[in-house]
Amino acid sequence: MAKISVAALLLVLAKGAAFAPPSIQLAKSISSVSNSSLNQSTRAATTETESKPADSVAVTEPVQQLHTQPQAAAPPSGKREKILREPALWEYNFGLQDPQLALPHGIIPRVSAPEKYQITEEQIATLERDGVVHIKGVFDQEWIDYLRAATNHQVKEPHFWAFAGTASKLYDYIQRNVWQTNKAFADFYYHSAMGHVLAQCGRTDEIRVSTDLLMVNPNKGFKWHQDNQNGPITWEEGIRFWITMDETPKDYGAPVYLKGSHRNDVVEELSVFVDIEQEGLEEYKDQLLEFRTMPGDMLIWHPRTIHKVDGPSDGIWTTYRRVLGGTVAKAGTTYHDKRGTGGVLSDLGRHGLEDGMKLSSPFFPIVYPRFDDDEARDRDSGKVGRDPRDIIGKIGGLAGKASGEKFFSFFKVLGSQAKAEQ
């Protein structure tokens, strides 16, 4: 891991300006964050039905508060202040990072088999019917604390690949494909029960990580949208996931989904923002499912399911909302070259795969039924990651191939958020 000088960083940004939308503004400094002390659950998953409102309820109903959310100490002036500040330009790092965290439950890195966690047929059917399912308590306190410690290390040692997303002010910190640069997250995928849970949800015998995101505090939130940054795969080949490390605040931050909206046929594939008042969404727009997730929970949904997250009205998070999320690919998935669309932004590695080839590569590592030793070694050696040559090649012709408004939908998200902060 190496710090980069301001001059070098500006040079890279100048050469790779396609990363950063025009509205990006640099922030000042990053506050110190404390590492938590650091248990994978072996108990069976709780059966989830519509008769149990604690995990999925209409937004007009109150959601029971199960724990007390820790609050940051108010400054003397009474003014709300963010718990986390954006990194200064000179604080970004390049290269591989390793927090050197011990894995829970005596797991030996790259030796122990991944853990398992059994879910129910009812939960799988809920996902298929509603387009989303909330599975409580998948990860015990040891795993929660492990993820918190990995995340705290990451925001204290920010990586260059977080620069564009964080500076866009969508999140206090956001980094795609964090597993490629931070060993702690790769080890989590290799050894936790995440792969087993997602394999059951997808009724598949293989799970590969297509792309992931480490997300800390979504500022004012993210309005109604569908997920099209899923890596080089199709809607039906992927499964979206969230793993939550913190309690959802009572008044904001709970994800809201349109029940069954994964079956809609009116929102175009390249769209990010969704107008839920548009013709064709009438049967879904009032079917709201809200989930107040707690530490160790998983939210799992179809990539096409329309959803949103509302942040505090002033965009200031005084507590943490840390989430590890992303998209996994099921068995039989093939590589889809998405150059010419916004989808390419989640596939910027020099992996050598071509359109129609089997999705089998250390850039998209298998995590179920077991990680692959060779793929893990390639990741540890630095062979897996984003390459400037591919970034220029894949992004360079985007605007000319994409159908204007659809492609720029993603960058409008960034621009509108930044304007709201001004």
CA 318, CA 303: separation in Å to the nearest integer?
A: 30
Among residues 211, 227, 41, the alpha carbon closest in space to that of 119 is found at 41
Q: Look at residue 3 in the predicted model and tell me its pLDDT.
A: 55
Residues in the chain, overall count = 422
Across residues 359-386, what is the average pLDDT? Answer: 96
Confidence grade of residue 17 (pLDDT, cut at 50, 70, 90): very low
pLDDT one-digit tens code per residue, 271-324: 889 999 999 999 999 999 999 999 999 999 999 999 999 999 999 999 999 999
Q: Above 50 in pLDDT, residue 19?
A: no
* Rounded CA Rg of the chain: 20
pLDDT at 248: 94
Phi-psi region of 154 (alpha: psi -120 to 50; beta: other; left: phi over 0): alpha
**Sequential DSSP letters for 220-265:** TEEEEE----S-SS-TTTEEEEEEE-SPPPSSS---EEETTGGG-S
Give the torsion sign (CA, 340, 343, 349, 355). Answer: negative
Nearest to 202 by CA among 113, 135, 301: 301
120 pLDDT above the threshold of 90: yes
Nearest CA among 221, 256, 228 for reference residue 416: 221
Average pLDDT over residues 330-354: 86
CB 305 within 8 A of CB 131: yes
Confidence of residue 78 (pLDDT cuts 50, 70, 90): low
State residue 22's pLDDT score: 30
